[in-house]
Structure 1
Amino acid sequence: MTRKTAMAASLPALDPVPEAQPKLVVRLGRGRTGGTTGLDWMVQRARVQGRDPIIADAARNPTLSRLYPGEALAPPSSDVVDVKAWLTSVLDRMLTERRSAVLDLGGGQDITLAEYVRDLDLLSFCQDVGVLPVAVYFLGPEADDFAHARAIWHEGYFNTPQTLLVLNEGVLKRGQNPAGAFQGIQANPDFIAWVEAGAVPIYMRSLAPLETMRELGLSFGAAMADRPGQGEQKLGPTRAWQVKSWNAALENEVREVGAWLP
């Protein structure tokens, strides 16, 4: 059994989602909590499984755009009017091409989404056009990480039944014990209430070779297979095993909610 809370274990079974239904996966919350790594993994996972989600990057620090140059869509500026018009173009493309999308609105752009929802009832829109909305919050162990996510939840403008709370061990400070780092957040009454309302907590382990993977330009698949990256350099079998282990653990964590992913 994975390290989810006891509350999650007692939740009723999740309703099945049609495989062909496009998903709008929106990353919300603070920056520097591992959201880019998580969304990158979702995109690569989808491609391995034969799907090609739209990559939409409106984060203040647009890392996805750097990982997918020429592929990721980005607004022309951070101006609210520009971002809102761009969001409409992303939704139009989803519907025209019947493709899922991952949308990075981390690092404060959630305020823009709140304004956008005032113009377009996004959840009702998704229901009417057959798109599954998914909210993903990446959380470090700091109280401020959860406070920011909780504030968005309390605002209620993107409170979809498909909500993931990703507890990311990769942002722990040196010396912090992963086993107890998130106990404070998990004991918070609002966290408990959120899970009881249907949010699914997921652990994302620390991936030690991640920085080296980025430097070598390696995908997760290439890293696991220990194929060469830029300059024909490889991770080596030990680091390749680390990536395999990390990937297997994350796959196990999303086993119940895999149909929510793009």
Structure 2
Amino acid sequence: MTLPRPDLAPDGSLERDDMEALQREIADAAVFEDDFAFDPAALSNPLATASSPDEPPIVAGVDQSFLTNSEGDQDRALSAVVAMQGGEVIERVHAVTPLEIPYIPGLLAFREGGPILEALEGLSVDPDLFLFDGSGRIHFRQAGIATHIGVIRDVPAVGVAKSLLCGTPREDTENLPAGTRVPIEANSRVDCPDGTLIGYAVQTRQYDSPDRYINPLYVSPGHRVGPETAADIALALASSYKLPEPVRLADGYADEAKREVDETA
């Protein structure tokens, strides 16, 4: 497809200052409120939407794995995409591309964005929503990988991260009951006014035990999704596991595809 904003595509050859400047452009272009055509409530009841006159929304999960060379260094990214509709997997695609730069906190999209864009080109369906294993607005410059790819393709996107990159929870996030959400607000590490709501800590699952607990996910809007809706979506799609199902399946598919690549190498 023709990218709506090819000028914002991640370029690993840029200097760090230029990468950060590009991220600020992306944040300025991002829409951190709901701007999509489907009812998010449809995601929590796929059987009902499957029998309704309207087509259920297509949701794609995106995750990454990495391949190593003979010296044991990571030199390629494997980007995996799993598209679901009405609770069923309808397509899986992946792409393997060289890595241009090492991992640098806050600049993940410049390492993984190109491989992801190439994998997305392989999709024959047109998802209504993308969920990324990574951050959206919970990011130093409000431009995590979900925001970066969401803006480039101008698609609704949500970031689902396992750890908090920046920002401050408004309440304690330890041992939360399932279904709880805690607002994450901007602090001095984020390029927006302190106290701005940039996402939520979302407790999708929890152990029924006082001796151990599951940490929350850190969910934030990427593009064309508001923070409350992003949290709603994460809870609705985390059916039996901590991760929302499209991201969980993309994670498993990334590992599966990686084994296949290793076996044919």
> Which structure has more strand as a fraction of its residues?
2
Q: Which has the higher helix share?
A: 1
TM-score by length of 1: 0.35
RCO (CA 8 Å, sep 6+): is it higher in 1 or 2?
1
